[in-house]
Amino acid sequence: MKASEIVYRYFILFLGIFCISFGVALFTKSGLGTSAISALPYTLSLVISQFSYGTWVAAFNIFLVVLQAALTIHEISVREIVQEVIFALAFGSVVDFSMFLLGAFNPEMYAVRLLGVLLSSAIIAFGAYLTLISRVGVMAGDGFTNALVKRTGKSFALMRVISDTTMAILALVLCLLLVQGELSVREGTVIAALLTGTIVGFYSKYFGAFERFILPKPKTEQAAK
């Protein structure tokens, strides 16, 4: 790929990270829990409030990068590690920025909260879809899951479910032990876990024209056909 195309693909990837981060913030502000991979950082932000939600998101994702590197120490490159750390910092920063933008959004009606969860699931899924089609890198959660796949030989889908479930359970236990009143894992977490992957699949299947529009094939590749 030409340098200009690589830069453009990174732009698409960071746009995806922005969508995921904004979706996570909207999910959290909806008040029906938060996404599985953000549940532990959100819980920690409630327990140790000196650090912001986004700071905990970045720190937790960097921790996942460290675990990934430990699991694939002879297979992962320094470039991949540095890249995922940068993505983690961007993820956390945009979560904080999005929480600021959504500061006035504190719905009390359950229907509005549920609508927020559904909308955030679609936004998070679209962000994940953008990172997938960029094909220039992965975020820490996906990288960690890929490392588990390499070590266990199990499918990506299975290891992602196990990983997300473990994070959600740990967050719920921490909440019950240390946080009074607010839970980071609620029915919204379950709804999003069931919906998000399905919506990503929908985008991947039916957004082919959109992908070709924003990521046209190089002229050399077109000429080869």
Reading the chain (225 residues) residue by residue, the pLDDT tens digits are 788 889 999 999 999 999 999 999 999 999 999 988 899 999 999 999 899 999 999 999 999 999 999 999 989 999 999 999 999 999 999 999 999 999 999 999 999 999 999 999 999 999 999 999 999 989 999 999 999 999 999 988 888 888 888 988 899 899 888 887 677 889 998 888 888 888 888 998 899 889 988 887 654 344 334
User: Is 40 within a domain?
Assistant: yes
- Alpha carbon 151 to chain centroid distance? 22
User: CA 54 → CA 5, 91, 187, distances in Å?
Assistant: 30, 8, 22
User: Is 126 within a domain?
Assistant: yes
- Calpha distance 39→96 (Å, rounded): 15
User: Is 53 within a domain?
Assistant: yes
User: Is 132 within a domain?
Assistant: yes
pTM of the model: 0.89
Q: What angle do CA 35, 63, 37 make, to 5 degrees?
A: 10
User: Is 78 within a domain?
Assistant: yes
User: Is 90 within a domain?
Assistant: yes
Domain that includes residue 69, residue range = 3-216
User: Is 223 within a domain?
Assistant: no
Domain count, the chain: 1
User: CA 27 → CA 81, 129, 147, 184, distances in Å?
Assistant: 28, 18, 27, 11
User: Is 162 within a domain?
Assistant: yes
